[in-house]
Structure 1
């Protein structure tokens, strides 16, 4: 089975469209990965050979340890997001799982398009997850390393530990620190960016680990997904991490700029139609309770309609600016 075929099979399972036989096949493959037996070259190994190798090694392990056929199955549902991240995120989750001993359990924390979350890691470090984000980490860190895997966006406040570096693996980058605060933006299909709020951060690309950038506060490393070029540039960290705030304040901000801010915060493409620049200024404050909530509030100030497309893009059709502007928080 090729890598892409397995990814599609996992997606069908998430949608409840797989048979019991397919579920068992997925269980065997994931047991192979979870137990850290020899990995396969998904791009080259024929499906029949993969299945044969899995059966042989799983059976050998069963006979040797007296295990049931699917000892890890109760945990497979919990870590399905890890598998998808491994297959779609450039191997970041695989790197995490393969670096742990077989008896270490992985924890997956995820948010959807309306959620944010604050997590305390085993070492006391704090992580705030933005919308549509998944963080994977072990229940206990190793003695010499603290590694997590990320897809999406998160702000890290890392406890200082000179004996155990803290590593964040995302689709194309690896971020290494001892103790600091920084933001990682690594949404699928977009450029990756690491921005430092305090301390020092080392960033390198998975494909070229020898090329490292050292970042200081208000500096960012940006990797273009198409060229994999890694560049350092000055960046206002406070603006980057504005999504962490529980409130969005707009003080006479043009309507199109408000939508651009919402697009950045919620990572949802927004298309604005029939709007002339400078037509409407917004003065309002909103609790950061999700994009739909804020759009509904904006409709009290601006006459517009919006529609969510099949690709999750939102199309807004502007009609007019209402004369009454409100500065009261919602």
Structure 2
């Protein structure tokens, strides 16, 4: 199913809090403190006369935080890089026994052994993480300007550099998400955070997380995503280049379900039927017109 709508925004649902609010606050405070320790964040207040120093200090904090992350990777051992080429998927076993699935066109880096912190970096793409529980050693994923911290959960991160939206979807457990200066809070199962990189804003919504992460079984489920998300999915799944009128399709929001094991022409026929867009295929290039 496809539909054309204006930009969508989602609000945090009322069921986003645990029944025991005090326990929720205690867990969140502990996880956020851990995140702040990782990024070197300390709240400060500046007078008007010191604003320019605050800006410089912020830049320095970001640089120092990045240096510590890279340094921690190398101090933990050899840095490994794993990728899933277009048209393929990959499964990686991490040093702590956790497992990561990489979708087509994805790359991740991680140390050959973890030290005090379990940290990895999703360089590009989509990954599903099934993390071994360890209360003493939080697991942190860095991607773009964001990071996710957990103790032991399963969740999906979609961070393609070609796309504006970054998506974090929780299947089990609690997941803390934030950027280099603040936390966005905790996500519960079947919650998805959407971070709009250009606008530097985020929304949350309720989804069927198991369906979102079903790409591991070649089942593609896209819910209310920009048309460009579908295009990139087709390109990565079938290892082709798809050209289309971006201006014409920029406001199109798509919900679609298909199997990446199916022939690509089946998906193109759906697009043709809904949008009256013809297509032509020449080698590895597909044109919608």
Q: Same fold (TM over 0.5)?
A: yes
Match of 2:206 among 234, 252, 256: 234
Residue 95 of structure 1 deviates from its aligned partner by 5.8
Contact 2:176–2:183 (CA under 8 A) maintained in structure 1: no
TM-aligned CA distance change 1:300 to 1:193, over 3 Å? closer
Secondary structure of the structure 1 residue equivalent to 2:156: strand
Tell me the number of residue pairs that the alignment of Structure 1 and Structure 2 aligns. 201
Partner of 1:16: none
1:135 aligns with 2:104: no
Residue 101 of structure 1 deviates from its aligned partner by 4.5
Partner of 2:178: 204
Hey, what's the Cα distance between the residues in 2 that align with 1:91 and 1:235? 36
1:154 aligns with 2:127: yes
Contact 1:131–1:266 (CA under 8 A) maintained in structure 2: no
Secondary structure of the structure 2 residue equivalent to 1:131: coil
Partner of 2:147: 174
Hey, what's the Cα distance between the residues in 1 that align with 2:86 and 2:65? 22
Contact 2:212–2:220 (CA under 8 A) maintained in structure 1: no
Q: Which residues of structure 1 form unaligned runs of 5+?
A: 1-89, 250-256, 273-283, 318-330
TM-aligned CA distance change 1:188 to 1:107, over 3 Å? same
Partner of 1:213: 185
Q: Of Structure 1 and Structure 2, which has the larger fraction of its residues in strand?
A: 2
Q: CA RMSD in A?
A: 3.8
**Does 1 or 2 have the higher relative contact order (CA < 8 Å, sep 6+)?**
2
Match of 2:263 among 288, 294, 309: 294
Hey, what's the Cα distance between the residues in 1 that align with 2:146 and 2:111? 19
Q: Deviations over 1:151-208 (max 9, x none)?
A: 21000000000011000000121000000000001110421111000100000012x2
TM-aligned CA distance change 1:267 to 1:248, over 3 Å? same
Contact 1:205–1:230 (CA under 8 A) maintained in structure 2: no
Secondary structure of the structure 1 residue equivalent to 2:70: helix
Hey, what's the Cα distance between the residues in 2 that align with 1:235 and 1:299? 26
Which is higher, the Rg of structure 1 or of structure 2? Answer: 1
1:195 aligns with 2:164: no
Hey, what's the Cα distance between the residues in 1 that align with 2:231 and 2:81? 26
TM-aligned CA distance change 1:95 to 1:133, over 3 Å? farther
Residue 265 of structure 1 deviates from its aligned partner by 3.8
Hey, what's the Cα distance between the residues in 2 that align with 1:182 and 1:104? 26
Hey, what's the Cα distance between the residues in 2 that align with 1:158 and 1:103? 18
